[in-house]
Amino acid sequence: MDWFIGILAIGVFAFFLGKFIKHKSLYPFMPFRYDFRKRRGSFLKAMDLMNAINANIIIETGTSREGLRGTKSNGAATIVFGKWAQENNAFVHSVDISEESCRNAQQEVDNQNLNKVVKIHHSDSLIFLDEFNDKVDLLYLDSYDYSSDVEVQKKSQEHHLLEFKAIEDKLHENSVVLIDDCDLPNGGKGKLVIAYMVKNGWRIVIDAYQVLLVREDFAFDKA
Ligand SMILES: C[S@@+](CC[C@H](N)C(=O)[O-])C[C@H]1O[C@@H](n2cnc3c(N)ncnc32)[C@H](O)[C@@H]1O
């Protein structure tokens, strides 16, 4: 019986150790309980670069429809960048075509007291980006949902390319671009936009689930 309890205890310990190792928090920036999993490294690097360039204006396409419940699934970037904006005197514009996504994201923005630094815009991202008039320091592309359907994949990839083209003239020499959901079958959301950017003087800093890019002659950091 003793041996059985011993094995059980080791099993339970190994289970929780495994969970702890897989848990990728942004602590102390965000409370430890939030697990950012595959996005932690790229969020951290993006925020490093945002610190370096003293980012002021952040645009996100596709808002945090699950609030902070979505750290592992959707990413919760509205709140991550909102928190960064609050600490760094910056501002986040997050745009979404779905009323429901906007409502849910707004609720989390309220819960986190980020209203002064985050504005949720209810619009098609292409219209919003086209009409946006300021220079953009961080552009985060994460709208049109990717899926296993090849037709949807193509539409999502085209949409993210169009988003980039719609705001391209508002990016400056040290702007930072982060694209979500890239390490997926057939190239993910970033396939076309990354190819376009690389052809037009951008370089990849992180090539993972999220892809992080700066211009070839980015002035800060040997990124
Ligand atoms: C994956 S979620 C965004 C997740 C969010 N960035 C986060 O980090 O939690 C994708 C969102 O894109 C929105 N979306 C889809 N097509 C869009 C479009 N044409 N313009 C703006 N938003 C769009 C959807 O309504 C959905 O809420």
Q: Whose CA is nearest to atom 2 of ligand 1?
A: 62
Domains in the chain, number? 1
Other Cβ atoms within 10 Å of 165 Cβ, number: 14
State the CATH number of the domain containing residue 75.
3.40.50.150
Among protein residues, the one with the nearest Cα to ligand 1's atom 19 is 124
175 in ligand 1 pocket by Cβ < 6 Å?
no
135 in any annotated domain: yes
- Residue 163 near ligand 1, beta carbon < 6 Å: no
Distance of alpha carbon 144 from the chain centroid: 14
Q: Specify if 102 maps to a domain.
A: yes
Percent of the chain with pLDDT over 70: 94
Question: Would you say residue 60 has pLDDT above 80?
Answer: yes
Report the pLDDT value the prediction gives residue 34, as an integer from 0 to 100: 98
Any atom of ligand 1 within 6 Å of the Cβ of 82: no
Q: Is residue 28 part of a domain?
A: yes
Q: Does the CB atom of residue 124 touch ligand 1 within 6 A?
A: yes
Whether the pLDDT of residue 18 is over 90: the answer is no
Evaluate: CB of 63 within 6 angstroms of ligand 1.
yes
The stretch 127-155 carries a mean pLDDT of: 98
Range of the domain at 117: 24-215
Residue 222 has pLDDT above 70, yes or no: no
